[in-house]
Amino acid sequence: MLQVLRRGFIAGVDAFLTPQQRQLPPDKLGQYRVLVGTALSMLLLNLLFWVNLRSSSIAGRRSVAVVALLAVASYALVLMLVRWGRSYRAVALLMCVFLTMAFLGVTLVSEDLRVVSHATVMLVPLLAVYLLGGSLGFLFTAIVCLAVGPFHKLYHSGFGSKPPLLAILAALGNNSSAVVALLIGWCLFWLHSSSREQAHAALKQALETLRESEGKLSNLIESTDDFVMSLDTEGRRVAANRPALQLISALTGSELPPGAPLFPPVPREPWSELLVLFKKALTGQRGRTEVEFPMEGRSRTLEIIASPVRSKEGRVVGVTFFARDISARREAEARLAELHRSLLDVSRHAGMAEVATGVLHNVGNTLNSVNVSVGVVGERLRGSRLPGLARAAELMKQHLPSLGSFLTEDERGRQLPPYIIAVSEQLVQERDALLTEVKSLSESVEHMKSVVSMQQENARFVGVVEQVQVARLLDDALKLQAQSLDKEGIQVRREYAEVPQVLVDRHKLLQILFNLLSNARHALQESGRTDKRLTVRIGADAGGELLRIEVADNGVGISPENLPRLFCQGFTTKKDGHGFGLHTSALAAAELGGALTCTSPGPGQGATFLLELPALPEQRMGR
C-alpha cells in the first residue's frame, strides 16, 4: 500500500517536471522533486489555512487570510518557474524567500502566538538547509527566529509603552521555546545535510573509481583476441567482449543481446559440452575443455575455461567463459607430430644405413683380402711347372716299350729322372702355398658370412622388443668395427660385469652402440695419438635399477661449450660430419626408456658416452 502511494505521489510530482529534468541524476532529480513537493504541499496547506480562517475567531484573521492567498500565488509561481526556469538554485532561493515572507507576513498581521509558532514554521530551516545549504539555511532560520521571538512581541506590544532597551530585553524571552526548536531543527538538518553531502561525495568518488576500474577492465577485455563472456546463474548474458559476440553471431547466425540466454532450449553438440561445463562451474569448480565448432566451412577448435563468479559471501552468482582459438596450434602440433614421425623414420633408416655401411666396409675389406688371395692363386697356377711334367710324361709314354734303355742310354732319357724329381719338389711347394692361400680365402669368406649373418640376425626383428644379452650385442658391434680398429692401431679393452638381459629393440640398441663406437673411432683417428685406447664397460648403477654401458676413448675430447649441444640435430665438430648420428642415438635411447649422456674433461682428454637402460623388474641387480 505504501509503495503504491509513494509511486503515485512521485508520478504526481514528476508531472510538473520537464522530460529533461526527469532524466537528471538521482540527487538532482531528488532536489527538484522536493522543491515541487514542497510548493504543492504549501499550496495545499495555505488553501486549507485560508478556508479554516473563515470560520476561525483568531484576531486579524482577514489579514492572515490575505497573507495566505498571497502565499498560494507565490507557490504557484514557484511551480511555473520550476518548469520554465533555467536555474534550479534561483528557484530554490525564491521558494525559501516566499516561505520566509509568508511567515513574516503572518507575524505582522496576527497577534496570536498559535499562528506564529505553528508547526509549519519548521519547514523553513529544513527546506533552506536541504535546498540551499547550511549557510543560507542559517540565514533564513535566523530571520524566522527573530520574527517568531522578539520581533513579534515588539511589533505588537513593545514599541510605544516602554523604553526601547527595556522593550527589547523583555521581548527576548518571548516564545523562546519556538526559537530554540527552530535553532535545534536547523542544527539537526545541517548535520544531516553535511553527512549526506559527505556520503554523496564519497559515493561519487566510489562511483568514479568504479567507472574507472570498469573502463580499465573493459579496455583489457576488449584488447584481447580471446573470447570473454560472463553469464548469470540462469545462463543469460551479462557481459561480453567483441570477439565473443562475433563468435556467437558466427555460430548462431544472430546477435546475443544482454539478458538473452546463451544456451538453446535443446542443446546439442557442441553446446551440450558447454552446458556441462557451465553446470560444473555453478557448483564452484573450475572446468576446462576443448570443443570443435564448424565455422567458415572448416572445423575450428576452441579451448574453453569456465570459472565461477563468487559474491562476498562466497556464493556463486555467475560464470565467466574464457575461450581461445587453438586451431592453428592444433594444426601445428599435428604437423610437428608428423615431422617427428618422419624424423624417427629417417633416423631409423639412417641408423640402418650406418650399420649397413659398417657391414659393407667390413665385407669390402675382406673382399680385398679375397682378391689378393685369388690373385696369388692365379699367379701360382700360371707359373706352375705342371705343363713341363706333362711333357715329360708324354715322352716316357712314347718310349714305353724300351723305357729302360731310353732312361739309361738316351741323352734325353738320362735327364728325365732329375727333372721329374725337381718338378715334384716344386709342385709340393706350390701345393703348400696354394693351400695357405685357400685357407686365407676360406677364412675371409667365413668372416664375410659371419658379418652378414650377424647383420641378418640383428635386423631380422626390427621394432620387436625382446630380451637381449648386452655383452653379446656389444661384441657384435665391435666386430663391425674390427677391421677399422685394427687398421688404426686402436687397442680395445672390454670390462664386462655380470648383468642380466634387458628388454629392448635389438636393432635400436645395436644402432646406438655402433654410432658410439664409430664416434670414438673417429675421435681417436683425429687425435694423432700413438696410444689409441677404446674402453667399453658394462655394469649397473648402485640401486640395480639401471644397466650402464660406457664407451670411453682418449681421443680429441669435447670442449665444455659444445657439450650441451652435442645431441642436437645438425650439430657436429667433424669436417665431413652431418650431425645426425648422436641425435639419432639420443632419440633411440629415449624410445628404449633410457638416456644417453656424455662427459669430457676437455679438448685432447677424451670423452665418455654413457647409455643407461632400465633393467628387467624381475632381474634387477642386487635383488
Residue 215 inside a domain? The answer is no
Q: Do 465 and 383 share a structural domain?
A: no
Find, among 615, 613, 354, 305, the residue nearest to 481 by Cα: 354
Residue 62 inside a domain? The answer is yes
The residue among 142, 170, 202 that closes a domain is 202
Residue 177 CA to residue 149 CA, distance in Å, equals 9
94 close to 154: Cβ distance less than 8 angstroms: no
Q: Do 439 and 390 share a structural domain?
A: yes
Q: Do 430 and 524 share a structural domain?
A: no
420-450: buried (b, 16+ CB within 10 Å) or exposed (e) per residue?
Answer: eeebeebeeebeeebeebeebbeebeebbee
- Residue where the block lists cell 509603552: 161
Q: Do 271 and 170 share a structural domain?
A: no
Q: Do 465 and 451 share a structural domain?
A: no
pLDDT 10s digits, 68-105: 777 778 878 877 887 776 677 888 888 888 877 877 77
Pairing of strands 533-540, 491-496: parallel
Find, among 141, 30, 16, the residue nearest to 81 by Cα: 16
Pairing of strands 298-310, 287-295: antiparallel
CA 141 to chain centre: 68
pLDDT of residue 167: 46
Q: Do 175 and 90 share a structural domain?
A: yes
Residue 527 inside a domain? The answer is yes
Residue 373 CA to residue 333 CA, distance in Å, equals 59
Q: Do 497 and 384 share a structural domain?
A: no
Extract the C-alpha cell encoding 536: 667399453
pLDDT of residue 299: 74
The residue among 325, 351, 385 that closes a domain is 325
Alpha carbon of 550 to those of 24, 347, 516: distances in Å? 87, 22, 9
Q: The dihedral of CA 19, 23, 25, 30: what is its sign?
A: positive
Give the CATH number, domain containing residue 307: 3.30.450.20
Alpha carbon of 480 to those of 82, 211, 260, 583: distances in Å? 110, 79, 76, 21
Strand partners, 371: none
Residue 610 inside a domain? The answer is yes
pLDDT of residue 34: 80
Q: Do 241 and 192 share a structural domain?
A: no
* Torsion angle in degrees (nearest 10) through CA of 567, 572, 577, 580: 20
140 close to 128: Cβ distance less than 8 angstroms: yes
pLDDT of residue 493: 92
pLDDT 10s digits, 190-243: 777 777 677 777 777 777 776 776 666 666 666 677 788 888 888 888 888 888
pLDDT of residue 538: 92
297 close to 272: Cβ distance less than 8 angstroms: no
Low-confidence ranges of the chain (pLDDT < 50): 160, 162-163, 165-172, 461, 618-623
Ramachandran angles phi, psi of 620, nearest 5°? -65, 140
The number of distinct structural domains making up the chain is 4
Residue 79 CA to residue 35 CA, distance in Å, equals 9
What kind and span of H or E run contains 318?
strand 316-325
Q: Do 179 and 31 share a structural domain?
A: yes
The residue among 456, 490, 506 that closes a domain is 456
- Residue where the block lists cell 610437428: 336
Q: Which domain holds residue 439?
A: 332-456
Ramachandran angles phi, psi of 335, nearest 5°? -65, -40
pLDDT of residue 229: 85
pLDDT of residue 455: 59
Q: The dihedral of CA 456, 462, 466, 472: what is its sign?
A: positive
Residue 332 CA to residue 515 CA, distance in Å, equals 32
Residue 207 inside a domain? The answer is no
Q: Do 507 and 448 share a structural domain?
A: no
Q: Do 312 and 369 share a structural domain?
A: no
Residue 527 CA to residue 520 CA, distance in Å, equals 11
Residue 541 CA to residue 611 CA, distance in Å, equals 12
pLDDT of residue 169: 46
512 close to 567: Cβ distance less than 8 angstroms: no
193-211: buried (b, 16+ CB within 10 Å) or exposed (e) per residue?
Answer: beeeeeeeeeeeeeeeeee
Residue 575 CA to residue 526 CA, distance in Å, equals 11
Find, among 153, 149, 137, 155, the residue nearest to 181 by Cα: 149
308 close to 282: Cβ distance less than 8 angstroms: yes
Residue 212 inside a domain? The answer is no
Residue 209 inside a domain? The answer is no
246 close to 227: Cβ distance less than 8 angstroms: no
Residue 118 CA to residue 103 CA, distance in Å, equals 9
Q: Do 176 and 95 share a structural domain?
A: yes
Give the CATH number, domain containing residue 501: 3.30.565.10
Residue 238 CA to residue 82 CA, distance in Å, equals 39
